[in-house]
C-alpha cells in the first residue's frame, strides 16, 4: 500500500507539473493567436519577448531534474493504471528529447520565430523574398542546430520530421513520395486530356458577410461547438487550441474567389473537431494531445475532401448556398457546382490546389526542406529552386514571390518537417473514410441530408479519444486493419475523377 500511495503522490506531482507547463504553453498560444489576428503592428517589438518568456518557463518545468526523477521513478515502478502508464511512457520520451534543448536555445528559437514571421509578413506585403531571406537563413541555422542536438541516425531531417510525426524518417517517406511521382502523373495526364470542367462561377463577386455567414452554417452542421471556439480572419488560415473547450479557427475572405474561404473553413473545422474531441480529463498530458500531425491532417482532409467536396454533401448545402447567392449561382446547376469545385488543374498556390495536384506541392516542399537541412540547398538560392521545381512537377512558374516561395507561413515558424504530414494526412483520410462507410449503415444518405453526427461520433470513438496513445501507422492499423496504404487514396481519387471527367 505504501508503494501504491507513493506512486499516487508521485503521479499527482507529475500531473501538476505537466499541466502547469501546458498552461504556460496555452497562454503563449493565446498570444500567438492574437499576433496573427488582432495585434497592432507595433506589438511585434515586445511580443517575441513575451512568447519567449512563457515558452522558456514551460520548457524549464518539463526539463528540470526533479521532474525527470519523478518520471523515471514512476516508469520503473507499479501502482499506475494503463492510461497513467501510457502518459508516463510518452512523457519520458518527451523529457529525454526536450532535455537535449537548453532553455537558452528554446528562448532564442522563439524570438527568431517572431522575427522571421514579421519578416515574412513584410516580404509578402512587398512581394519580395529578399526581405525575408536573412531571417529565414537564421531560422534554418537554428533548425540544423536543433537537429544535431536532438540526434538522428540517417538524415539530419529525420530529427525534425520526428517533431511532427513520431517515427517518420526520410527512409520511410521517400518510398511514399516515389509512389506519388509514379502513380499520380498518369491520372493527371488523363484529366488534362479530358474536357475541362468550368469553375468560373467561383470567381464572381460574393459579398464578405454572406460568405462568412455561410461558412458558420457549414461549421455548425459539421458539429463544431461555437461555445468552445470561434472563427476569425488571418493572413494564413490556421487552428489553435488552448483546451478542448477553447479551440479557434481562422480563415481568409476574397470577395472575388468564394473557394478561398469555403475550403479553408471546412479544413480548419476538421482540425478543430479533433481538438474539441480530445479527452478533457487528460488536459496537459500526452493522452490529451493529438496523435500526430498526419492524423490531425487526416481529420481536416476527411472533412474538406471526402465530405466537403462530395456530391452527397452538396445535395444538402447547395440549395442553402443558392439562397444566399441567388444572383451569382442562378445559372449554375448542382452537377456543375460539384464538378467545378473538383476542377483539377496545375496551380501555383498549395492551399487552393485540388486533391490530385496538391501532393506535388507537398513533394516540392519535402525535397526543398531536405536540401535546406542537409546543406545541399542554400536559402539564397531558394527562390530559383522553388520556381524550377514548380516547372518540373506542375508545368507552371510563379510570376512573383507572393505566389511562389512566400506563400506559406510554416518556415517562418520553424516548422521544418511539417509539410509531409499534409500528404500523409490525405492518404490516411481516404483509408479512414473508406472504413467509416463500411461501419456506419446509411452514411451516404445521412451526408445527403446534412446529418454528420454519426460520422463525428465514429471519429470520436475510433480516433479522437486515444490522444497520443498510438503512432499514426499504429492507429491506422487499429481502425482499418492495415497501415498506410497509398493505393486506397489512388482508388478514391481515380473513381472520383473518372466520374467527373469521364
Q: Say if CB 316 and CB 448 are below 8 A apart.
A: yes
The pLDDT value recorded for residue 5 is: 52
Virtual torsion, Cα 209, 214, 215, 217, nearest 10 deg: 130
| Domain count of the fold of the chain | 1
Place of cell 499541466: 19
Beta strands in 149-243 (DSSP E): 231-233, 239-243
Pairing of strands 231-233, 239-243: unpaired
From residue 495, give the alpha-carbon distance in Å to each of 208, 307, 498.
Answer: 35, 15, 5
CATH number, domain containing residue 435: 1.10.1370.30
Among all residues, which ones are annotated catalytic?
268
pLDDT of residue 79: 87
HSE-CB at 66 with a 13 A cutoff on CA atoms is 8
Cell readout for 356 is 490530385
List of the chain residues with pLDDT < 70: 1-5
99: three-class secondary structure by DSSP:
coil
Helix %, strand %, coil % of the chain (to 5):
70, 5, 25
Establish if 17 belongs to a structural domain: no
Distant-in-sequence, close-in-space partners of 12: CB < 8 Å, separation ≥ 6: none
Answer yes or no: is 474 within a domain.
yes
Give me the domain span that covers residue 355: 170-501
The verdict on residue 415 lying in a domain is yes
279/257 Cα distance (integer angstroms)? 37
Summarize pLDDT for 312-353 with one digit per residue, the tens.
999 999 999 999 999 999 999 999 999 999 999 999 999 889
Say what the pLDDT of residue 502 is: 87
**Residue 96 within any structural domain of the chain:** no
Q: Are 279 and 468 in contact (CB under 8 A)?
A: no
Quote the pLDDT of residue 48: 85
- Distance, CA of 491 to CA of 496 (rounded, Å): 8
Residue 73 within any structural domain of the chain:
no
Contacts by 361-364, CB closer than 8 A, 24 or more apart: 361/394, 362/419, 362/420, 362/422, 362/423, 363/177, 363/180, 363/181, 363/393, 363/423, 364/389, 364/390, 364/393
Q: What pLDDT is stored for residue 66 in this prediction?
A: 95
Contact 271, 237 (CB under 8 A): no
Global pTM value: 0.90
Q: Three-state DSSP class for 467? A: coil
Asked if residue 256 is part of any domain, the answer here is yes
177: helix, strand or coil: helix
C-alpha pair distances (Å), 388 with each of 404, 405, 500: 11, 11, 31
Closest by CA position to 55, among listed 34, 27, 35, 33: 27
Separation of CA 80 from chain center: 33
Q: Is 451:330 a contact under the CB 8 Å cutoff? A: no
Q: What grid cell was written down for 202? A: 467561383
3-state secondary structure 241-307: EEECCEEEEEECCCCCCHHHHHHHHHHHHHHHHHHHCCCHHHCCCHHHCCCCHHHHHHHHHHHHHHH
Look at residue 218 and tell me if it is in a domain. yes
Q: In 3D, which of 374, 400, 370 has the Cα closest to residue 387?
A: 400
Is 151 inside a domain boundary?
Answer: no
Amino acid at each position: 500500500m505504501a508503494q501504491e500511495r507513493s506512486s499516487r503522490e508521485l503521479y499527482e506531482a507529475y500531473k501538476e507539473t505537466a499541466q502547469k507547463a501546458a498552461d504556460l504553453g496555452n497562454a503563449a498560444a493565446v498570444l500567438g493567436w492574437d499576433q496573427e489576428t488582432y495585434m497592432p503592428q507595433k506589438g511585434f517589438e515586445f511580443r517575441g519577448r513575451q512568447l519567449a518568456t512563457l515558452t522558456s518557463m514551460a520548457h524549464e518545468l518539463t526539463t528540470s531534474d526533479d521532474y525527470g526523477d519523478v518520471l523515471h521513478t514512476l516508469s520503473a515502478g507499479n501502482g499506475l493504471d494503463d492510461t497513467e502508464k501510457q502518459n508516463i511512457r510518452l512523457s519520458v520520451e518527451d523529457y529525454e528529447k526536450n532535455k537535449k534543448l537548453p532553455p537558452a536555445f528554446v528562448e532564442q528559437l522563439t524570438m527568431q520565430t517572431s522575427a522571421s514571421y514579421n519578416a515574412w509578413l513584410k516580404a509578402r506585403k512587398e512581394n519580395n523574398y529578399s526581405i525575408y531571406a536573412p531571417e529565414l537563413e537564421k531560422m534554418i541555422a537554428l533548425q540544423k542546430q536543433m537537429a544535431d542536438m536532438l540526434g538522428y541516425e540517417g538524415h539530419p531531417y529525420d530529427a525534425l520530421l520526428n517533431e511532427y510525426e513520431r517515427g517518420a524518417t526520410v527512409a520511410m517517406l521517400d518510398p511514399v513520395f516515389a509512389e506519388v511521382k509514379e502513380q499520380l502523373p498518369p491520372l493527371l495526364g488523363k484529366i488534362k486530356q479530358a474536357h475541362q470542367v468550368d469553375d468560373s462561377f467561383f470567381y464572381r463577386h460574393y459579398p464578405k458577410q454572406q460568405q462568412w455567414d455561410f461558412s458558420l452554417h457549414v461549421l455548425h452542421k459539421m458539429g463544431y461547438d461555437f461555445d468552445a471556439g470561434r472563427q476569425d480572419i488571418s493572413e494564413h488560415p490556421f487552428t489553435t487550441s488552448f483546451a478542448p473547450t477553447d479551440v479557434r479557427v481562422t480563415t481568409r475572405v476574397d470577395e472575388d474567389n468564394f473557394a478561398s474561404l469555403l475550403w479553408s473553413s471546412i479544413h480548419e473545422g476538421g482540425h478543430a473537431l479533433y481538438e474539441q474531441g480530445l479527452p478533457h480529463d487528460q488536459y496537459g498530458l500526452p493522452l490529451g494531445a493529438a496523435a500526430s500531425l498526419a492524423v490531425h491532417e487526416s481529420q481536416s482532409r476527411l472533412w474538406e475532401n471526402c465530405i466537403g467536396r462530395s456530391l452527397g454533401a452538396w445535395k444538402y448545402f447547395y440549395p442553402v448556398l443558392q439562397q444566399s447567392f441567388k444572383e451569382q449561382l442562378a445559372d449554375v446547376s448542382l452537377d456543375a457546382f460539384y464538378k467545378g469545385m473538383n476542377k483539377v488543374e496545375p496551380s501555383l498556390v498549395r492551399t487552393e490546389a485540388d486533391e490530385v495536384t496538391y501532393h506535388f506541392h507537398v513533394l516540392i516542399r519535402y525535397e526543398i526542406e531536405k536540401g535546406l537541412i542537409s546543406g545541399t540547398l542554400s536559402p539564397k538560392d531558394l527562390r530559383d529552386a522553388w520556381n524550377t521545381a514548380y516547372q518540373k512537377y506542375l508545368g507552371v512558374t510563379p510570376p512573383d514571390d507572393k505566389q511562389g516561395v512566400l506563400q506559406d507561413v510554416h518556415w517562418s515558424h520553424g516548422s521544418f518537417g511539417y509539410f509531409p504530414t499534409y500528404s500523409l494526412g490525405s492518404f490516411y483520410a481516404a483509408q479512414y473514410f473508406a472504413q467509416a462507410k463500411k461501419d456506419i449503415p446509411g452514411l451516404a444518405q445521412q451526408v445527403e441530408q446534412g446529418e454528420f453526427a454519426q460520422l463525428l461520433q465514429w471519429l470520436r470513438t475510433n480516433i479522437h479519444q486515444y490522444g497520443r496513445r498510438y503512432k499514426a501507422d499504429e492507429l491506422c492499423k487499429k481502425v482499418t486493419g492495415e497501415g498506410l496504404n497509398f493505393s486506397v487514396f489512388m482508388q478514391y481519387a481515380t473513381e472520383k475523377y473518372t466520374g467527373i471527367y469521364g
